[in-house]
């Protein structure tokens, strides 16, 4: 039960599956074992979308999340579905614009304008990477250098520079937010 559990949630089209894939690759590259599962609705865009990771030193026995260590919420639609598995120790990072009613359970909540930051660096689609980077910085489950390496390996060449900016932006936001309450 010492597995580390992360959920990236929001609405379809926000790039959460890609972010989870990059994180899974990053964890593999540092010798961890992962189980990554998805939940989505039968629409290509919009609707609830989430990607969960269970990360362990050994092969993961139960691959689905039960008690989250970290939770990203990029859209209001994703709030309710996670309430049962948020613990007082869970680090919850939510988008301050897209999430209007924060989860009403005890947790370590951090709120940031992630999507706005993505618009700020020139592409709203980088919100997923900004969020991933910020979450990793806040809770320390993955080194920034490892994520950078994975973005360079996995992203199409023309998007690498943009996503490296997004990683940097995420770290900047996390540092200015201070430690989670």
Report the interface residues with other proteins, using CB under 8 A: 21, 24-25, 28-42, 57, 59-64, 66
The CB-of-166 to other proteins minimum distance in angstroms stands at 22
Residue (32 or 98) nearer to other proteins, CB: 32
Distances (CA, A) of 138 to 43, 80, 154, 163: 32, 23, 23, 19
How many whole angstroms separate alpha carbon 70 and alpha carbon 72? 7
Residue (44 or 176) nearer to other proteins, CB: 44
Q: Which two tokens stand for residue 104?
A: 């009403």
How many whole angstroms separate alpha carbon 28 and alpha carbon 169? 24
Q: Note whether 128 and 134 are within 8 A (CB).
A: no
Residue (33 or 125) nearer to other proteins, CB: 33
How many whole angstroms separate alpha carbon 54 and alpha carbon 138? 18
> Residue 150 CA to chain centroid, in angstroms?
15
Nearby residues of 61 by Cβ (< 8 Å), 6 or more positions away:
none
The CB-of-16 to other proteins minimum distance in angstroms stands at 13
Residue (30 or 161) nearer to other proteins, CB: 30
The CB-of-106 to other proteins minimum distance in angstroms stands at 19
Q: Note whether 38 and 79 are within 8 A (CB).
A: no
Residue (41 or 97) nearer to other proteins, CB: 41
The CB-of-41 to other proteins minimum distance in angstroms stands at 6
The CB-of-57 to other proteins minimum distance in angstroms stands at 7
């Amino acid at each position: 039960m010492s597995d580390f559990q992360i959920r990236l949630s929001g609405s379809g089209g926000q790039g959460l599956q890609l972010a989870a894939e990059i994180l899974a690759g990053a964890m593999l590259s540092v010798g961890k074992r992962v189980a990554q599962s998805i939940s989505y609705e039968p629409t290509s865009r919009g609707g609830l979308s989430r990607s969960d990771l269970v990360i362990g030193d050994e092969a993961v026995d139960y691959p689905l999340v039960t008690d989250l260590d970290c939770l990203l919420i990029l859209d209001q639609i994703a709030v309710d579905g996670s309430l049962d598995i948020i613990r007082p120790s869970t680090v919850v990072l939510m988008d301050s614009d897209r999430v209007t009613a924060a989860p009403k359970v005890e947790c370590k909540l951090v709120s940031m304008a992630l999507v706005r930051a993505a618009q700020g660096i020139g592409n709203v689609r980088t919100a997923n990477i900004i969020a991933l980077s910020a979450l990793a910085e806040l809770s320390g489950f993955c080194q920034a250098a490892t994520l950078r390496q994975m973005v360079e390996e996995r992203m199409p060449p023309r998007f690498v520079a943009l996503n490296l900016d997004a990683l940097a932006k995420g770290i900047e936001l996390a540092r200015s937010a201070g430690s989670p309450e």
